[in-house]
Amino acid sequence: MLFRKYQTEGFFDEMFTAAGKVRPHYKTLKQRFDELSLKEFDQKRQSVDLSFMRLGITFTVYGDSEGTERIFPFDLVPRIIPKSEWEYLERGLEQRITALNMFLRDVYHEQRILKEGVIPASYVLSAKHFRPEFMGIKVPRDIYIHICGTDLIRDEKGEYLVLEDNGRCPSGVSYVMENRQAMKRAFPNLFESAGVRPVDSYAHDLLNTLRYVAPNGKDDPTVAVLTPGIYNSAYFEHSFLAKEMGAHIVEGGDLLVRDSKVYMRTTRGLEQVDVIYRRIDDDFLDPSVFRPDSALGVPGLVNAYRAGNVSLANSIGTGVADDKVMYYFVPRMIKFYLDQEPIIPNVPTYLASEKEDYKYIMENTAKLVVKSANEAGGYGMLIGPKATAAEVREFQKKIKAEPRNFIAQPTISLSRHPTFSDLSQMEGRHIDFRPYILYGDKIRIMPGGLTRVALKRGSLVVNSSQGGGSKDTWVLYGDE
């Protein structure tokens, strides 16, 4: 009886209603889990942790001279999404990536959306990741964001909201697939009765997406995954995807640009590369154009891309759409380009650079979540209700100095999910959700995604660098 003492404590709980009744899509799972004791459950958990260690599914802890590797904490209670809810999410995500790609196409060409005053031009031009060098450059099939990992949350009523669009190098997808494998090993009999959609076609879909954007529609392009290398915390994922796709995994030093073409150094000499799935940020991509101190990139790569001899996924300059100030305008983009209302709403957002919003933010800092426009991983952020008065004052100074760099949002009480706690019992923990969207010949959304969970009691921060873990996410064929 794993859930006997479980309390929802007034939060929106994914598995139980406020009255403590199990939701229909969790029924089968609850039945099966109820057959286990907490002790048996804990044993399964330990053996799963061991298997991650044995398989080397680990990330390297930064700044540790011994090169210590850790596993990404994994919780065995899966998060379940029923069919109708998933179809709603799919529609919303499809709408969003379509609008974002149209926006990027527009700001790097005609800039209609700026000229017509829908988004103030100054916001785009001042965005940290806007790349004026790319104005007027044609990218293959007009696709900028090929791989997107939109972060979604649910509020206290259970409504889905978009928290941010990750249109640069969203990571975590390998964990989705490895988590599923781990669940299958731990509960081999659970899946046949549960009606869970498989996630394993992702690598195949990704390869198709990458091949679709090959230069000049080349038939049998050579595809490579560009990684910063073995010490990067996402290296496992890079090699996982390369292996699953049958693509080469390359480091900057493996590539060479000659006559605006990109080549790999092989044992047989130089071989041309056509499509690069790069897992290196713009800034580090080409030291002859961007940061000259970057040893991770490839001198001349940007020029080869401009010349149309190599395709990059995602394209250069997509970071402008990741700017949290630009996030505020996504509903307007949807209206402007598609003439639709947003299907999945944004979290209400205040811009510190707008006069009235600024006043509101300064008067209510302690109630709000304040975020800097271009930080990720849960950094550069103030959670007002959890901060001390001194921390609030410190942040207000920063906002005053650089209003363009800050936005604020009301503190959303994220939905909770039963999670095996450090006290070896089931307790509610806050979660979010990152589905993975591929934009190629068509839009493909993996039926699943990464559910991240804040393992510390009461914490709202789900990032792995700050005490977060993950869960397997089940999208069902049906509604129960």
Partner 1 sequence: MEMNEMMDVLSTVGCLLLVTPIDFFMLSRVANSLFWMSRYLERAESIARIVDVNLQSLLDYKTLDDKSLKEQWGPLVKTLGDEETFAKLYKKEDSRAVTEFLTFNESNPNSILSCIVSARHNARSVRDQISLEMWEEINRLYLFIRSKSTRNLWQQSPYDFYREVKQSSYTLQGLASATTVHDEGLEFAMMGRFLERADMTSRILDVKHGILSMTEASGADLGFQSIQSAAVLRSSSAYEAFQHVYSSQITPVQVAEFLLLADSFPRSVRFCMRTFDHFLRKMSGSAPGQFVNEAEKLSGRLVAELNYTTIEEVMGIGLHEYIDSIQLKLNEIGLAMFESYILYQKTELEEEIRMQRQVQQQ
Q: Which residues bind partner 1 (CB under 8 A)?
A: 53-56, 83, 197-198, 200-201, 204-205, 220, 222, 229-230, 235-236, 239-240, 242-243, 246-251, 253-254, 256-257, 260, 264-271, 286-289, 292, 295, 299-300, 303, 447, 477-478
Least gap, CB of 353 to partner 1 (angstroms)? 35
Give whichever of 107 and 242 is closer to partner 1, judged by the CB atom: 242
Angle of helix 173-186 versus helix 38-54 axis, rounded to 10:
130
Least gap, CB of 479 to partner 1 (angstroms)? 11
Give whichever of 30 and 197 is closer to partner 1, judged by the CB atom: 197
Angle of helix 83-107 versus helix 324-333 axis, rounded to 10:
100
Q: Identify the CA nearest to 59 among candidates 73, 44, 77.
A: 73
Least gap, CB of 193 to partner 1 (angstroms)? 15
Is residue 172 within 8 Å of 445, Cβ to Cβ?
A: no
Is residue 182 within 8 Å of 74, Cβ to Cβ?
A: yes
Q: Identify the CA nearest to 284 among candidates 67, 129, 103, 62.
A: 129
Least gap, CB of 190 to partner 1 (angstroms)? 18
Taking the CA atoms of 161, 163, 167 and 169 in sequence, report the sign of the dihedral they define.
negative
Least gap, CB of 180 to partner 1 (angstroms)? 13
Residue 111: how many CA atoms within 13 Å on its side-chain side?
Answer: 16
Is residue 291 within 8 Å of 70, Cβ to Cβ?
A: no
CA distance 64 to 33: 39
Could you tell me how many helices (H) and strands (E) the chain has, helices first?
14, 23
Give whichever of 260 and 463 is closer to partner 1, judged by the CB atom: 260
Least gap, CB of 233 to partner 1 (angstroms)? 13
Give whichever of 289 and 373 is closer to partner 1, judged by the CB atom: 289
Which residues, in sequence order, are CB contacts of 321 under 8 Å at separation 6+?
A: 100, 103, 104, 144, 145, 165, 167
Give whichever of 245 and 333 is closer to partner 1, judged by the CB atom: 245
Is 285 in a helix, a strand, or coil? helix
Is 377 in a helix, a strand, or coil? coil
Least gap, CB of 264 to partner 1 (angstroms)? 6
Structure tokens at 386: 């959890």
Give whichever of 140 and 221 is closer to partner 1, judged by the CB atom: 221
Give whichever of 299 and 410 is closer to partner 1, judged by the CB atom: 299
CA distance 144 to 317: 8
Give whichever of 377 and 478 is closer to partner 1, judged by the CB atom: 478
CA distance 411 to 349: 11
Least gap, CB of 64 to partner 1 (angstroms)? 14
CA distance 40 to 123: 55
Least gap, CB of 289 to partner 1 (angstroms)? 8
Give whichever of 251 and 323 is closer to partner 1, judged by the CB atom: 251
- Per DSSP, 71 falls in state P
Is residue 349 within 8 Å of 394, Cβ to Cβ?
A: no
Give whichever of 142 and 244 is closer to partner 1, judged by the CB atom: 244
Least gap, CB of 341 to partner 1 (angstroms)? 25
